[in-house]
Amino acid sequence: MSRGQKPETSDGEAQEKRATGLTILIADDHPRVRYWLKMFMKKDTPHRIVAEAGTGKDAVELALMERPDLVVMDADMPDMDGIEATRRILARLPATKVLAISCHGEEYWIYGMLKAGALGFVFKEDMEVLRDAIDTVAAGKRYLSQRILDTLIDDYVQRRKVLDVSRLTALTDREREVLRLIGLGCCTKDIADQLHLSTKTVDKHRREIMERLDLKTSAALISFAIQAGLAVQVVQPPAAVPGDQPS
């Protein structure tokens, strides 16, 4: 066993430890959140807070020093975000469990924390599930609150819609051309200039394309254009020079 690592524990030992109390590190850049978590732990659980961190860098240093059973990790923190902090902690302390918390609902933070090794993720607004989340993650199992699951399911549905390129048949030729330029990253004014349209007309086409394809965001629209193979430059043949004769 290398330095900094904890010995593996059996399921029975882990269950006993959860009952008698875990050692927990709280990492969050908001003092009020840290205070609330401490009060919750003292009042409603047998667990013991061994350290607090306000930045990702401090979380890593304190985790290596205290070697807690569990880290409650805010996803978005200064100096070093929770994703990188989780990755570094688990690289040195693979037996430590990480439960991610956040006020951000973007898929970037959810996927990032889970890929880094966090076993659970809950929104800060959903702290009523915190006890179950801690017990589940401490047992080495995954815990995602209902709102996190809803976010991931919505993201999956949107990705499937993006991949269904057969829906291109619902678009007119003009809408396909607008979509091609959107996929190339052109702004509304650039599209209007290239297609000799007003910006209002381009915006109208954009709204209608999103409605026909049932896409909710500009990112999904760009992704659809790329997946459909539309995001390619159309190269115009050079204009003939007067007087040139074919060879």
pLDDT (average), residues 177-187: 90
| Residue whose structure tokens are 């430059």 | 233
- Name the average pLDDT for the chain: 84
pLDDT tens digits along 16-57: 555 568 999 999 999 999 999 988 888 877 899 999 999 999
Confidence of residue 230 (pLDDT cuts 50, 70, 90): confident
Task: Give the pair of three-digit tokens for residue 202.
Answer: 């381009």
| Residue whose structure tokens are 């057969």 | 166
What's the CATH number for 11-154?
3.40.50.2300
Other CB atoms within 10 Å distance of the CB of residue 67? 18
pLDDT tens digits along 55-81: 999 999 999 999 999 999 999 998 899
- Distances from the Cα of 122 to the Cα of 69, 105, 215, 247, angstroms: 18, 10, 27, 71
- Mean pLDDT is lowest, of 80-89, 98-107, 159-168, 228-237, for 228-237
Res 2: pLDDT: 41
Domain boundaries of the chain, sorted by first residue: 11-154, 166-227
pLDDT tens digits along 127-159: 788 889 999 999 999 999 888 888 888 877 766
SS (H, E, C) the chain: CCCCCCCCCCHHHHHHHHHHCCEEEEECCCHHHHHHHHHHHHHHCCCEEEEEECCHHHHHHHHHHHCCCEEEEECCCCCCCHHHHHHHHHHHCCCCEEEEEECCCCHHHHHHHHHHCCCEEEEHHHHHHHHHHHHHHHCCCCEECHHHHHHHHHHHHHHHHHHCHHHHHHCCHHHHHHHHHHHCCCCHHHHHHHHCCCHHHHHHHHHHHHHHHCCCCHHHHHHHHHHCCCCCCCCCCCCCCCCCCCC
Decide which of 218 and 27 is more confident: 27
Which residues contact residue 184 at a Cβ distance below 8 angstroms, ignoring those fewer than 6 apart?
A: 225, 231, 232, 233
The CATH-assigned architecture of domain 166-227 is Orthogonal Bundle (1.10)
pTM above 0.95, yes or no: no
Q: How far apart are CA 176 and CA 169, in angstroms?
A: 9
Task: Give the pair of three-digit tokens for residue 181.
Answer: 């330029």
Nearest residue to 23 via CA among 74, 75, 62, 80: 62
